[in-house]
Structure 1
């Protein structure tokens, strides 16, 4: 391993340890490593060029649209109607509110594409409701946090767009469709784990929650659910690109939130726009800085070296996949999803392709791995948002989180070893 690589890793880890924002840490580490081999002016110029080139993509225009639509959905009454729909489906079952929480998070994630937004919007309703019914506070928060990650797989998902860019152009439409079955699988296994925990711990809900009829819940949620079919159906049928779908999602969310549900007033829009601009700026800086680091790693032939090292350890495909999964799980615990995807896709995808894994299958496996990191300390953003909303601590959540973590790991093993879970729907629809 050369001086450039050692310097890159050392500076990056030191900056992370002293809590420098990750986008800044990535950029400074890349610059420091480049300064070891070339003069200051060309180094700074190269970083600027690579940062700019990293965000110079038409597909990335979808991200600010989906971010804005997520904010509109979070405050526009859509979350509450999805909760009513889930309540009508499973509210009468034992441990019903836990199941409602998981289904509502999955549905909201399928509309907003944001785990943090799902945790805030659904958790803001469901955690107090579950507390009132007698479910343990830490369990309620753990359920919300883990279920919210399904939005990373179920489209529209910003991180799948980022992976398409990092992988060299895997179809966004195919990735969107490929995420459905894995996302549903995670949700079902989380439901099973939640029911197991409720029964094992002898939790007896008070059952005083007001249930709604199936017809009432369904018809109330139809306008919100229609967004799923509008966005994804339009992409599959070729009516519009993912970027255009993002713009349509904004217009439709605006119509629902302001015109039909009337839970957002016109005077609230500037603040929502400000929040979405701030979030978009952070995401784009992450993408640009990560693209620069990815270029430097490629320039230093790190992907080829790591690929050769992994393949020299063993020729057993299952063992290599296990190593890749463990590496991604560790990465997910201390790095945000966006830079992790941009930096490690060029490194690990060639190894996966050598094993015969398609870029589509690898992408879904990678996103599921990193989604687990969202609810894992020390950096798990969704975990900390959930703790804030649920007014509980990470230490208190460890016990109820354990069966939920196991459920997610089982889903990861199935997605890794059974390619059809990711590839069947895109193949059926002729997308691959």
Structure 2
């Protein structure tokens, strides 16, 4: 069993080092490991079953809907209105433009459900604006990448849906509600860093807008912000499921972008639909391949072995959870969120439950961990997008990223060791 596990890990990381796409790395590593333990025909049959069974879930239908709605919103003029609203509300504070960047990324990430979309849409406008006002370009790029990850916690979030599937029973509605406080805490922590950085550098403060203009900007952003209340309100009240909420989000974003804002034309829709299909296919292949890997991990009893090893190292929950966090932070720096959640949830969730942590609490912790990985070198996807938008390099933004990273890590520790941060709102709405 130990030999099979070593083969799985070795093949997987060798393929990753050779720049083989992660879904194929997972699939090939799984096939090689299965052939060591099982004859060819049952191994091939099992892999085929797990690939198909891994994506045979009604809850996963929400993902293509939210992907499509996010793409429509990315081109629908929503980012511009959210930025203008944020500017009207907090632009006059110290470090105003940096605060606007964080708030805009948080709102857009929450609406679109995509950290990459938030980085591209908000960063393409805010980074040049901040540079014009004297902000360091590398700091602006680092800030955009960090702030965009809050959309992974604040619903609608595809990765929370994937965790619900991987955990085998956590309610999507409870996860959606649980993500709000941690997501807001991350945004606030980044804002504190921005305010201190702006004061230290002496950046200018934006002029306060007339009340009438502030009101106009808020009203203009209300239709975009309503999507959050429609989706989450409908799920919490039981009017519709998360999958149905995804379909409603598509219809609403279409009406908003095509009819109300008129930023998306009908001839643009086929291209958006094709991009949505490509993204969904990539995600589903990752889910199928990761499900096959999860099966072989379970077959070889690897999760139980790791659980026993961790619990044997220490009986102190603080130490064990710290080890899990550090492991996940390292994983997040090298692996995409979807396979990481599908592979490491069955490994670490039993350990967390043995320590008295609820699956809901653990879900928020693992997603926050891997969200930090999105903006962590060397392979953080959001980091690459932000660097491309700012026309800079990863090496140059590492230094300004450090205080932002520390702020996010502090929030991670708070979320890990204070269950109420994740469980208060679900309990309040009767979802825990």
Q: TM-score, normalised by structure 1?
A: 0.98
- Measured in 2, the distance between the counterparts of 1:214 and 1:49 equals 56
What aligned pairs does 1:217-296 form with structure 2 within 5 A after superposition?
A: 217-296=217-296
- Measured in 2, the distance between the counterparts of 1:157 and 1:334 equals 21
CA drift of 1:211 comes to 8.3
Q: Secondary structure at the match of 2:377?
A: coil
CA contact (8 A) 1:134 1:206 kept: no
| Alignment deviations for residues 32-57 of structure 1 (CA, whole Å, 9 cap, x no partner) | 00011222232222111101100000
CA contact (8 A) 2:227 2:252 kept: yes
- Measured in 2, the distance between the counterparts of 1:87 and 1:428 equals 32
Cα 1:269–1:211 change in 2 (3 A) is: farther
| Alignment deviations for residues 179-205 of structure 1 (CA, whole Å, 9 cap, x no partner) | 0000000000000011112222x1423
CA drift of 1:7 comes to 1.1
CA contact (8 A) 1:105 1:118 kept: yes
Q: Are 2:203 and 1:204 equivalent residues in the alignment?
A: yes
- Measured in 2, the distance between the counterparts of 1:52 and 1:194 equals 46
- Measured in 2, the distance between the counterparts of 1:32 and 1:20 equals 15
Q: Are 2:66 and 1:66 equivalent residues in the alignment?
A: yes
Cα 1:97–1:211 change in 2 (3 A) is: farther
Q: Are 2:161 and 1:161 equivalent residues in the alignment?
A: yes
Q: Secondary structure at the match of 1:378?
A: coil
CA drift of 1:208 comes to 7.8
| Alignment deviations for residues 86-143 of structure 1 (CA, whole Å, 9 cap, x no partner) | 1111001111000000001110111111100110111111111111111110011111
Please, which runs of 5 or more residues in structure 2 have no aligned partner? none
Q: Secondary structure at the match of 2:68?
A: helix
The answer for the alignment partner of 1:401 in structure 2 is 401
- Measured in 2, the distance between the counterparts of 1:8 and 1:122 equals 40
CA contact (8 A) 2:310 2:320 kept: yes
Cα 1:221–1:149 change in 2 (3 A) is: same
The answer for the alignment partner of 2:89 in structure 1 is 89
CA contact (8 A) 1:145 1:383 kept: yes
Q: Secondary structure at the match of 2:37?
A: coil
The answer for the alignment partner of 2:17 in structure 1 is 17
The answer for the alignment partner of 1:330 in structure 2 is 330
- Measured in 2, the distance between the counterparts of 1:70 and 1:411 equals 27
RMSD after superposition: 1.3
CA contact (8 A) 2:311 2:320 kept: yes
The answer for the alignment partner of 1:191 in structure 2 is 191
CA contact (8 A) 2:53 2:288 kept: yes
The answer for the alignment partner of 1:376 in structure 2 is 376
| Alignment deviations for residues 217-273 of structure 1 (CA, whole Å, 9 cap, x no partner) | 210101001101000000001110000000000000000000000000000000000
CA contact (8 A) 1:167 1:346 kept: yes
Cα 1:206–1:427 change in 2 (3 A) is: closer
- Measured in 2, the distance between the counterparts of 1:31 and 1:159 equals 26
CA contact (8 A) 1:95 1:205 kept: yes
- Measured in 1, the distance between the counterparts of 2:418 and 2:58 equals 33
- Select between 243-252 and 105-114 the one with higher mean Cα deviation: 105-114
Q: TM-score, normalised by structure 2?
A: 0.98
- Measured in 2, the distance between the counterparts of 1:426 and 1:217 equals 32
The answer for the alignment partner of 2:30 in structure 1 is 30
Structure 1's consecutive aligned runs of 4 or more residues displaced over 4 angstroms after TM superposition are 206-212
